[in-house]
Structure 1
């Protein structure tokens, strides 16, 4: 293991010995200085996780979250100097973190919070003028592709993750049944928003994300749900500035 790796491991794990060769300005061992630095790093990373995952923190409680963050940061070093992007491994971490495995929805709630962070920092793109859809020749409509904006994210959960998120962030009524939900993240203006999708809309949007033409996306949606409402879903995408352009397929 390299000295750089030793240093990184020692910073994130207080059980590790101080790296060899550390000296203060007088040439004495810098154990105390390193301990202070290590504590500052741990506090900074823990605070970054609190900012990114406020709903997870709300769900598990402050003390538990701080303890869990300590375990997480020892296992996952930052891979970017930008702390706002720290914590991308949290959903997978939660899946394997035994004290919360009974809360199966936590990983998907974490995915929502990560998507909100990514959406907030995504590139700006001008939204599609809604009247542009009216100019498409009916014969070309099913071949048309709708291109989605960079802030758009889709989360398909087997839990009511979107409703749980809203109940713990804006005071909505908690869900009474643990049913699957599909969640859309959009950024119509400056702040991203979380929308629980109606039946079939998740399959429709997933197909659009894969660059499928409108006809194929409609097919996937109706296979998923006979109650799929194309007009409602397109209205949602247009009103949240989720569509940036249209193109004709072949």
Structure 2
């Protein structure tokens, strides 16, 4: 094992001894100093996770979350110095925790919170003028969606759960499956509840499908009003006929 790998593993595991490469200014052992540094690193990772998953933390309680986050941090150290992306493995991690198996919706709430963070940091793109769409055959129309758009599907009422734990006076969650689209018209992304079938339609649009290829049962009028009203359409093309 290289000295760097030994150092990284020791940082995240208090059961490991201080690496031999860690010494004080005179070349002596620096175990106590390393222990302080190790604790500060772990606390910093826990704080970052708590900031990134506030609804998950609220649902299981702050103390429980910090204990869980400590385990997560040791199993999943950051792969990048950009901490804004830390925690991508959280949904799968939560899904595999037996202690939280009774909260089946929790991994999807984590996915929603990750998607909000990804949307926030996504590239900017100018929305189109909707009047430009009038001259295009709707069946051949292909829309270009904003880089900040994210889709989260779930068998749980994730939109209602997120709102109930994020907004004052939000209604109690309904017992239904809910799909969400995250839109960022300006600076702050927000989730929006999708009508039935709209998540699949959006995924098809994002893959380049023309509107004429979408499920006719989907309420496209409501979907397009949502997209255009939040600046989520950034371009379009007309699919050539064969």
TM above 0.5, one fold? yes
Unpaired runs of 5+ residues, structure 1, are: none
Q: How many angstroms does 1:214 deviate by?
A: 1.2
> Using the alignment, how far apart are the partners of 2:21 and 2:220 within structure 1?
66
Q: Secondary structure at the match of 1:185?
A: strand
Pairing of 1:162-181 with structure 2 (within 5 A): 162-171=159-168, 172-177=170-175, 179-181=176-178
Deviation at 1:25, TM superposition (A): 0.8
| Offset, 1:65 | 0.5
TM-score computed with the length of structure 2 as normaliser:
0.95
TM-score, normalized by length of structure 1? Answer: 0.92
Q: Secondary structure at the match of 1:157?
A: coil
Name the count of aligned residue pairs: 239
Q: CA deviation at 1:26?
A: 2.3
Q: Please give the alpha-carbon distance, in whole angstroms, between the structure 2 residues aligned to 1:162 and 1:210.
A: 24
In 2, the alpha carbon distance for the partners of 1:78 and 1:48 equals: 11
Deviations 1:191-248 (A, max 9, x none): 00111111221121111122211112x22xx4xxx4x321111000001111100011
Please name the residue that 1:85 is paired with.
85
What SS is found at the alignment partner of 1:238? helix
Query: Residue 9 of structure 2 corresponds to which residue in structure 1?
Result: 9
Q: 1:190 & 1:129 partners in 2: Cα distance? A: 20
Which residues in structure 2 correspond to 1:64-213 (within 5 Å)? 64-136=64-136, 140-171=137-168, 172-177=170-175, 179-213=176-210
Pairwise mapping of residues 221-236 of structure 1 onto structure 2 (< 5 A)?
222=216, 226=217, 228-236=218-226
Q: CA deviation at 1:176?
A: 3.5
Name the residue aligned to 1:242. 232
Instruction: Give, in whole Å, the separation in 2 of the partners of 1:174 and 1:68.
Output: 26
SS of match in other structure, 1:169: coil
Task: Supply the RMSD in Å over aligned alpha carbons.
Answer: 1.1
Return the alpha-carbon distance in structure 2 between the equivalents of residues 159 and 13 of structure 1: 35
Gaps of at least 5 residues in structure 2 are none
